[in-house]
Structure 1
């Protein structure tokens, strides 16, 4: 049986769990909760992923695989009768949307790490503001240029963006990402009500 090394608060794990739900594979994977961080990685995670990051998917038929993009692609391949998450006719748009969602997450998680893992006197507000500027530009792009794609059928790009926006609500609500992003706000209000999103919401 597949095993997913996970933490309930990880937005990258959430991407995988939403993909599992949307492709009907939730019952095929055992969830193994771990406590890991850049400063103190869990030995079980290190055994599966040398970088010590989650998610990691332990497979009986071969080496563990890791990185949410790799795992989600693998899961989509395992469910040929499920939704077409990587539509060939729009593949580059789907992958670009996924990269945009993951880019938002990379910067958002970096801000959290700066606040949590560095001593207060060493934290750089300029650096955190620069990370948020990346997020703001991505939000502008999604709101102004990508709504037609987001409003289309479910795909890996929409899942990634949905999980990224959910993480902004969880960890950066004070930044008010919805301001000046009305179309994106409306889209996320509907997308966040999918059962897969409701079932994978991080504990508050």
Structure 2
């Protein structure tokens, strides 16, 4: 028995709900979870203060003070309500140039990266809304107000079936989730087993 304290970013979405974690729960019925949501910087701060044992954050961040297990790299995607026009009909992805003129909803975490990429392509993005939470970004997209730019794993198709998604075909617009713990700090066996379940879903 025990409690596992975990800090997660809102864009961890479908990753934190992998079937492997259900299996972990089934084999550890005595474990309860304390989940703290926040952006990457808040999760890093909670880890540093010992308020949580495990953090699930997004790159980029300063990794020096942490033991990090990186999950597979993923693209940023464009998510939009099916009431909006398809910006690349018949295609499963779209180029950065095809975002020109679209009212975009952007998770502020990626603001600088996104602007740098647009500038490199001589584009001026039409930003309808910037915010601090991937869930807010998706909720705005769900209403049909605009097109959200989010990491692919932020979207759970079962929970947002009305959202269409297309990968943005731009090598620089990629990100990774990282499972992190502070270096040189005791890590419980349950925490280690949880990390194994999260990072090795086929094991």
TM-score (structure 2 length as normaliser): 0.29
Which has the larger Rg?
2
Query: Hey, which of these two has a bigger chunk of helix by percent?
Result: 1
Query: Hey, which of these two has a bigger chunk of strand by percent?
Result: 2
TM-score (structure 1 length as normaliser): 0.29
